[in-house]
Every structure is written in structure tokens, then in C-alpha cells.
């Protein structure tokens, strides 16, 4: 995740110095490194590590309207979605 954030910001910076923002979604978990923690939209993981990295924004997952509103606000370098496979209960 850390490399994804770095490569995305590096590539986007070639187009614009304002294109560094990252959008992720509430209740996701991206890891415990500093960049990944900044991308994780859960306050319980942020406690004690602030301030987090600048430019991370969050939207509700599966809410297209809210996501589109978020996309209109900033020049994004990346949108992070980490699918996970839930165990089926049989």
C-alpha cells in the first residue's frame, strides 16, 4: 500500500503539483504504515499517530453520489479500494 501511494503521487505530480490527493472509503483498512494508516478511514486506528499525512479523503463505500462529490473537490492521484474475500458460512 505504501508503494501504491508513493507511485501514484509521483506519477500524478508530473501532471500537476496539486494532484496529490488520495480517496479511500470508510471502514476500510489499508495497513499500519504511515501512508496506509492515513488512507484508513477509521479513527480508532488514527489515535496517537496524528497528524496524519495531508491529502487523504474518505467517502462512504457504495455511495456513488458522495464519491462523485468527493471527486469534484480535489485533484486525485489515486482512489484506493482493497477488496477482501469474506469467508462463506456453510
| CA 12 – CA 21 distance, rounded (Å) | 9
Tell me if 21 sits within 8 A of 86, measured CB to CB: no
Tell me if 24 sits within 8 A of 58, measured CB to CB: yes
User: Residue 2 pLDDT more than 50?
Assistant: yes
pTM of the model: 0.85
| CA 82 – CA 74 distance, rounded (Å) | 21
Q: What is the pLDDT of residues 35-78, one digit of tens each?
A: 999 999 999 999 999 999 999 999 999 999 999 999 999 999 99
% residues pLDDT > 90 (the chain): 80
| CA 34 – CA 75 distance, rounded (Å) | 21
Place of cell 468527493: 70
Amino acid at each position: 500500500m505504501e508503494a501504491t501511494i508513493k507511485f501514484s503521487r509521483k506519477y500524478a505530480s508530473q501532471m500537476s503539483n496539486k494532484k496529490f490527493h488520495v480517496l479511500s472509503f470508510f471502514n476500510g483498512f489499508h495497513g499500519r504504515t504511515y501512508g496506509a494508516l492515513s488512507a484508513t478511514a477509521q479513527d480508532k486506528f488514527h489515535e496517537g499517530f496524528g497528524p496524519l499525512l495531508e491529502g487523504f479523503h474518505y467517502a462512504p463505500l457504495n455511495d456513488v453520489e458522495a464519491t462523485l462529490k468527493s471527486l469534484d473537490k480535489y485533484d486525485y492521484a489515486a482512489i484506493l479500494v482493497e477488496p477482501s474475500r469474506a469467508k462463506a458460512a456453510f
